[in-house]
Structure 1
Amino acid sequence: MKAQDIMIKSVICVDIDGRLPDIKKIMENHKFHHLPVTDNGKLVGIISDRDLLRLISPFIDGLSEQPRDLDTLNRVAHQVMTRQPIAVKAETPIEEVLAWFKRVDISCLPVIDEEEQVIGMISWRDLISHATF
């Protein structure tokens, strides 16, 4: 089995200059935990829901909201993304995908083509749902 056999093919990516409120909305509306970040179509980073939780003030829209809390929304993707994310090709064997999950503390892998464009995503949930016992 290869990455292309279990990857999710309909992937939404955000531009390197995408703003955090828009990114947050995409993640909430689609219930995503990760979003690939692209520059001219090429994968350059990834943003996780944990990144947003860490960066966006929890006081926004609350009684304690301060101007500095709203300033956390003025960031763009390239300021908060993980750069040079680990990615695999469609032909990558599942064993190698599993090895990445075990070796590095990540929970998803973008799947890219020869031009480094995102063509899919694989999460640990995808691996579990395709596991054969």
Structure 2
Amino acid sequence: MDVKSANIKISQIMSTRIVTIEMDDRLTIVKEIFDNAPFHHLLVIEHDELQGILSERDYLRALSPNIGNISETERDSETLQRRAHQVMSRNPITIEPYQTIKRASELLLEYGIGSLPVLDNGKLVGIVTWKDLLKAFAS
């Protein structure tokens, strides 16, 4: 990594196309989003404030492994009725748009996470993922 690429700002690489869900949304909504959109992280909000993050990995961990196959029971399908706040990670690690991609990389590695919601003065403005960082370092 050269010094020049390490100083790229988060605002230059973050995705501003974010998908948010509410705390009480059911996992059926989460399933629909993950099945139909190229997102792997949903930001959970309440009253326009970030409350948590729900990754595709969190979602899959919460579901019964029998969902969608021949051995699925009513009890299995009920796991889709759980609410986002029951599955999400609370108090997500965030970053500001003026921070550098070097700092974002350090945070992802330090906390073992795959994305960082981007907050500008407490307002959700984007998300940056490990793939975004990799692309920035590669270009």
TM-score of the superposed pair, with normalisation by structure 1: 0.92
Deviates more, 1:102-111 or 1:89-98: 89-98
Corresponding residue for 1:59? Answer: 66
Q: 2:82 & 2:123 partners in 1: Cα distance?
A: 24
Q: Secondary structure, in 3 states, of the residue corresponding to 1:87?
A: coil
SS in 2 for 1:121: strand
- Aligned letter for 2:46? D
Instruction: Please state how far the C-alpha of 1:132 moved relative to its aligned partner.
Output: 4.8
SS in 2 for 1:88: coil
- Gapped regions of structure 1 (runs ≥ 5): none
Superposed counterparts of 1:33-72, under 5 Å: 33-72=40-79
Number of equivalent positions: 132
The percentage of counterpart residues that share the same residue type is 38
2:92 to 70, 80, 85: 85
After superposing on structure 2, the runs of 4+ consecutive aligned residues of structure 1 that deviate more than 3 Å are none
Provide the alpha-carbon RMSD of the alignment.
Answer: 1.3
**Alignment correspondent of 1:120:** 126
Q: Which amino acid aligns with 1:61?
A: G
Distance 2:68 2:101 in 1: 44
Unaligned runs of 5+ in 2: 1-7
| 3-state SS of paired residue (2:68) | coil
Q: Which amino acid aligns with 1:130?
A: A
Deviation at 1:12, TM superposition (A): 1.1
Task: Write the letter of the residue equivalent to 1:62.
Answer: N
